[in-house]
Amino acid sequence: MKQCIACGMPMRKVDDYPLGDTTKNYCKYCARANGSMQSYDEKLASMTEFIIRTQGLDAHVAQKSAAFMISKLPAWKRGSDD
């Protein structure tokens, strides 16, 4: 079972992959509509939005937490340093 390099989610079924493409190493939540992988800024924004929508946190706290979480993932280990 592969794990999304951009958010850490396990990808078990075809439906978890962007446009059902199981050769990709990122999941459908980390892909744009055309199936390409979101940029660091796009992922940071979507993760921040997810934290606000599900946990109701302050926007600034949510963004800091999202940046911390994605900094641990293979796709963003360098992009998160700034």
Partner 1 sequence: MNKRTQQREQTRIEILTAAEHIYAVHGFIRPSTQMVAKEAGVAHGTVFLHFQSQEKLILAVIENLGQSLTSQIHESSVPGHSLNEVLQTYLTAIEANESLYTHLIMELPQLPKEAQQTVIGIQSVIAHHLDQVMSQLKKEKKIKDLSFPFLFNTWIGLIHYYLMNRRLFAPHGSVLAVYKDQLIANFITLLEVDCT
How many residues make contact with partner 1 (CB under 8 A)?
Answer: 18
Number of residues in the chain? 82
- CB of 64 within 8 A of CB of 70? no
Whose Cβ is closer to partner 1: residue 27's or residue 37's? Answer: 27
**Per-residue b or e along 30-41, where b marks 16 or more CB atoms closer than 10 Å to that residue's CB:** bbeeeeebbebe
Whose Cβ is closer to partner 1: residue 10's or residue 20's? Answer: 10
In this structure, what are the phi and psi dihedrals at residue 79, rounded to the nearest 5 degrees? -65, -20
* Site map (CB under 8 A) of partner 1, residues 54-73, x = contact: xxxx------xx--xx--x-
Q: Kindly state the smallest distance separating residue 56's Cβ from partner 1, in Å.
A: 3
Q: Kindly state the smallest distance separating residue 10's Cβ from partner 1, in Å.
A: 5
Whose Cβ is closer to partner 1: residue 22's or residue 55's? Answer: 55
Rounded Cα distance, 69 and 75, in Å: 12
